[in-house]
Structure 1
Amino acid sequence: MKENIKILFEHYLAGKTDPEQEKILMEYLADPANADSEFHGVMEKAWTKQTRETDYSLAAVQGLAQVWDKVEERQPKSRLLFPLLKYAAAIVVIISGALGWYAYKKAQQPVQTAIAFLSKTTQKGEKVKLILPDSSIVYLGAGSKLTWPSHFVKGSLRNIQLDGEAFFEVKRDTTSPFIVHSGQMQTRVLGTSFNIYAYPKDGTFSVAVRTGKVKVSESSGGKVKDLSLLTPGMKLLYHIKARDYNIHTENITEVNAWIKNSFVFKDVSLPNMLRSLERYYNVRIELKSSKLTQCRFNATFSNKSISHVMEELRIMSGKHMEYKIDTTTKTITVWGEGCQ
Structure 2
Amino acid sequence: MKVKKKSLKEYFRDYQLGRLNKDENQIIDDWFSIDIKDEIKAPANTILGHTSSKEEMYNNINFVIRQKSLKKNNYLVKWLSVACLLTAFITGAFLVNNSFQNKSEEKLSWKSYQTSAGEVKQISLPDGTKVWMNANTKIQLRSDFNAVSKRTLRLDFGEAFFQVKRDTSKLFSITTGKITTTVLGTSFNIRTYPEMDTYKIAVASGKVKVDFKNGKESRNLAAHLTKDQVLKVDAKSGSAGISTTNVSLIGNWRLNRSIYLDELTLPQIGQELSRQFKIDVKVTGGPNPNQQRYTLTLRHQDLPTVLRQLVLQTGMNYQLNNKMLTINPSR
**Fold in common (TM above 0.5):** yes
CA separation of 1:315 and 1:191: change in aligned 2, threshold 3 A:
same
1:139-154 to 2 correspondences below 5 Å = 139-154=132-147
1:110-129 to 2 correspondences below 5 Å = 114-129=107-122
Separation in structure 1 between the aligned mates of residue 232 and residue 296 of structure 2, nearest angstrom: 18
- Aligned match of 1:92: none
Separation in structure 2 between the aligned mates of residue 201 and residue 296 of structure 1, nearest angstrom: 15
Once the two structures are TM-superposed, the CA of residue 165 in structure 1 deviates from its matched residue by 0.6
Separation in structure 2 between the aligned mates of residue 181 and residue 278 of structure 1, nearest angstrom: 26
TM norm structure 2: 0.63
Separation in structure 1 between the aligned mates of residue 305 and residue 231 of structure 2, nearest angstrom: 30
Separation in structure 2 between the aligned mates of residue 251 and residue 171 of structure 1, nearest angstrom: 23
Once the two structures are TM-superposed, the CA of residue 245 in structure 1 deviates from its matched residue by 2.0
Q: Secondary structure at the match of 1:255?
A: helix
CA separation of 1:152 and 1:242: change in aligned 2, threshold 3 A:
closer
Separation in structure 2 between the aligned mates of residue 236 and residue 196 of structure 1, nearest angstrom: 10
Once the two structures are TM-superposed, the CA of residue 274 in structure 1 deviates from its matched residue by 1.9
TM norm structure 1: 0.62
- Same amino acid, percent of matched pairs: 32
Once the two structures are TM-superposed, the CA of residue 288 in structure 1 deviates from its matched residue by 1.4
Separation in structure 2 between the aligned mates of residue 258 and residue 151 of structure 1, nearest angstrom: 30
Q: Is the contact made by 1:289 and 1:334 (CA closer than 8 Å) also made in structure 2?
A: no
Separation in structure 1 between the aligned mates of residue 266 and residue 277 of structure 2, nearest angstrom: 16
Separation in structure 1 between the aligned mates of residue 189 and residue 276 of structure 2, nearest angstrom: 16
Separation in structure 2 between the aligned mates of residue 132 and residue 290 of structure 1, nearest angstrom: 46
Once the two structures are TM-superposed, the CA of residue 149 in structure 1 deviates from its matched residue by 1.8
Once the two structures are TM-superposed, the CA of residue 273 in structure 1 deviates from its matched residue by 1.9
1:96-175 to 2 correspondences below 5 Å = 114-154=107-147, 156-162=149-155, 163-175=157-169
CA separation of 1:242 and 1:221: change in aligned 2, threshold 3 A:
closer
The one-letter amino acid paired with 2:108 is I
CA separation of 1:304 and 1:243: change in aligned 2, threshold 3 A:
same
Q: Is the contact made by 2:121 and 2:134 (CA closer than 8 Å) also made in structure 1?
A: yes
- Aligned match of 2:199: 205
Separation in structure 2 between the aligned mates of residue 336 and residue 221 of structure 1, nearest angstrom: 40
CA separation of 1:176 and 1:201: change in aligned 2, threshold 3 A:
same
Q: Is 1:220 aligned to residue 217 of structure 2?
A: no
Q: Is 1:312 aligned to residue 312 of structure 2?
A: no
- Aligned match of 2:236: 241
1:1-340 to 2 correspondences below 5 Å = 114-154=107-147, 156-162=149-155, 163-228=157-222, 229-259=224-254, 260-291=256-287, 292-318=289-315, 321-327=316-322, 330-338=323-331
Separation in structure 2 between the aligned mates of residue 197 and residue 159 of structure 1, nearest angstrom: 18
What is the Cα-based RMSD across aligned positions, in Å? 2.2
Q: Deviations over 1:104-146 (max 9, x none)?
A: xxxxxxxx68433210221110111111111111111111110
Q: Deviations over 1:283-315 (max 9, x none)?
A: 211111142222221211123222222222222
Q: Deviations over 1:75-111 (max 9, x none)?
A: xxxxxxxxxxxxxxxxxxxxxxxxxxxxxxxxxxxxx
Q: Secondary structure at the match of 1:200?
A: coil
The alignment covers a number of residue pairs equal to 225
- Aligned match of 2:47: none
Separation in structure 2 between the aligned mates of residue 297 and residue 219 of structure 1, nearest angstrom: 30
Separation in structure 2 between the aligned mates of residue 137 and residue 153 of structure 1, nearest angstrom: 14
- Aligned match of 2:10: none
CA separation of 1:336 and 1:195: change in aligned 2, threshold 3 A:
closer
The one-letter amino acid paired with 1:298 is T
Q: Deviations over 1:50-93 (max 9, x none)?
A: xxxxxxxxxxxxxxxxxxxxxxxxxxxxxxxxxxxxxxxxxxxx
Which ranges of structure 1 fall in alignment gaps of 5 or more residues? 1-111
Which ranges of structure 2 fall in alignment gaps of 5 or more residues? 1-103
User: Larger radius of gyration, structure 1 or 2?
Assistant: 2
Q: Is the contact made by 2:266 and 2:283 (CA closer than 8 Å) also made in structure 1?
A: no
Separation in structure 2 between the aligned mates of residue 153 and residue 297 of structure 1, nearest angstrom: 41
Separation in structure 1 between the aligned mates of residue 270 and residue 297 of structure 2, nearest angstrom: 14
The one-letter amino acid paired with 2:189 is N
Q: Secondary structure at the match of 1:315?
A: helix
